[in-house]
Each structure stands twice: as structure tokens, then as C-alpha cells.
Structure 1
């Protein structure tokens, strides 16, 4: 799939922006990973300072999907590290959006995936296995639903109710 620039998608889809079918996330995320531009259908996950379900989902075939993790915006530990970044690459996820922190930044930056997160933090998360998969999450000022589409590049992150084309 050819990379679609978020600015061009916004320019070409003013009607979808006005209706709320296309939304722009607040510019609060840092860019990590080798893929600066990525897109794909969304799989949602809601956890808090616990990454057992993150690993569980990343162990499944990604098939170009994007894992959107609502970590509650916690800045007290990391939900994704180098091992999970490598796992996501190996299982063919297009990217990961973390409403929280990552760690092992140099390792993640070596992975052939796109990652967006609020910050980095050296402390690993808990391992209790608590959280919810495939639920609506509120991140970056917008509700994001399982099965929607995410488009990310250096300009920002878009969420669309359906796959977009130019």
C-alpha cells in the first residue's frame, strides 16, 4: 500500500473531517521506530501499567494492523519495550500507538515498524494480565474504535471510520 500523507488526506477529505468520520489526534505523541509513515486497521486495547495483553496481541499475526493501546496516559512505566517492538515487526504489525510510555528506545528505533508514544520511561510494567481488548478508547482528544483506520506520518495521526484513498 502506498503511503498516504496526513496533510493531503485532510485536504482531500474536508467533508469527512466536518462530519467526524475523519479525526485528527492532538499532537502529543513522539515518533519512534523506522517506519515514519504507517497506516492500517486498528486493534484497540485498554490497560493500565500492565503489558501482558499487549504481548498477547502482538504475538498474533498483525497483517498490517495497528495496535492502539490506551495506557491511561501513565508516565510511571513503559508498556512497550524492545522485545515487543521486535515481536511486532516479526508478526507483521504496521505500528503501535501508545497512550503511555515505551522503553528501549534505541531497540525500538531499530525495528521496521512505526511507533508513537507519549514518552520513554526505563521502568517495566506490571504483569497481572488485566485490561480489555477490542473496546473503544479515548486518546489524543478523540474516541477510537476497534476496526477503524489509523494514518500516521511526521505531521500527525488521523483516525478514520473507513479506509481512505487519494
Structure 2
């Protein structure tokens, strides 16, 4: 983990980094986290999120394009606990989470648009490890992502 804040990192490496302007909420117990990107694209269905976070994730951050939907949660305390067991650094969700109070106590970085207690469907619809573009920022599997209280930076 870098000891630099995202602000200092951007000052040092600006041209090499993309800055996300979407204002995600920090809801996990770890405010600062970074790692190699893996991706899931899903809409109101968290089966692929659960599947990926149940695999070894040391040094990795899962970026989830939930279509910006807040109608149902894509991550809750049980899936977060699985992520921790498997060594994941964090999860960035362009969608909703649930169990916010518990998530805030767990040693996992979690950024999300908001929360909703409603469970998602679990059909497995979606895609794994595709390049995602959100807010003109490209999230490529294998690229590095940096997250803290100031925001999110992604290697170009």
C-alpha cells in the first residue's frame, strides 16, 4: 500500500492517472485501499460479485458497474466477510450496498453510491473482467486503482 494520499499521488503522477469525479461514499472499515483491478458488470444481480469475491483476491480491488442503480444492494455483510477471508483489498460499487453499519466495522475498503436494504436477484446475469467506463474513467482489469477519503484514481 502506498503511503501517499490520492491528492499527493495525483500531484506526483497526474498525467499517468485518471480521477473519478463521481462522489462515492466510503462505507467500509478501511478508508484507504488500493490494488489490481478486477471487474464485474451486473444490474441488480449480485451472483457474479459473490462468485468473484469468493476467490483469492490478495492485492486486488473489485470494481462493480451496477448500472448506477440504487434499487437493490450488490454487496452486504456476508459477501464482504467472504472478500476479507479471501484477502481482497476492497470493492468499488457503482450501485448500492446494504448492512452499512456492519460494513463500517470490517477491514475492507468499500466505496458505493449509496445503500438499500433490498436484496438483489441472483441469476448470474452480467460479465466478468471486461473493461468498464464510468464517468469517462476506464477501469481495465489488471490496472491499478487507488482509493481514499478524497476519491478514486486509476492508472491510464
- Counterparts of 2:123 and 2:65 in 1: how far apart (Å)? 16
Q: CA deviation at 1:108?
A: 0.8
Of 82, 86, 101, which aligns to 1:87? 82
Q: CA deviation at 1:87?
A: 1.0
Q: How does 1:50-61 map to 2 (within 5 A)?
A: 50-61=45-56
Q: Report deviation, 1:14.
A: 3.2
SS in 1 for 2:37: strand
Aligned runs of 1:1-166 on 2, under 5 Å? Answer: 1-16=1-16, 22-161=17-156
1:142 Cα offset (Å): 1.2
Moved more, 138-147 or 64-73: 138-147
Displacement of 1:113 in angstroms is 0.7
TM-score calculated relative to the size of structure 1: 0.90
The 4+ residue runs of structure 1 with deviation greater than 3 A are none
TM-score (norm 2): 0.96
Query: Secondary structure of 2:93's partner?
Result: strand
CA distance in 2, matches of 1:28, 1:112: 22
| Alpha-carbon separation, structure 1, partners of 2:64 and 2:12 | 28
C-alpha offsets along residues 108-136 of structure 1, whole Å, 9 cap, x if unaligned?
Answer: 11110100000000100001111100101
Q: Which runs of 5+ in 2 are unaligned?
A: none
Alignment gaps of 5+ in structure 1: 17-21, 162-166
CA distance in 1, matches of 2:2, 2:52: 26
Query: CA RMSD for the aligned pairs?
Result: 1.1
Which residue pairs with 1:19 in the alignment? none
Q: CA deviation at 1:27?
A: 3.7
Aligned length: 156
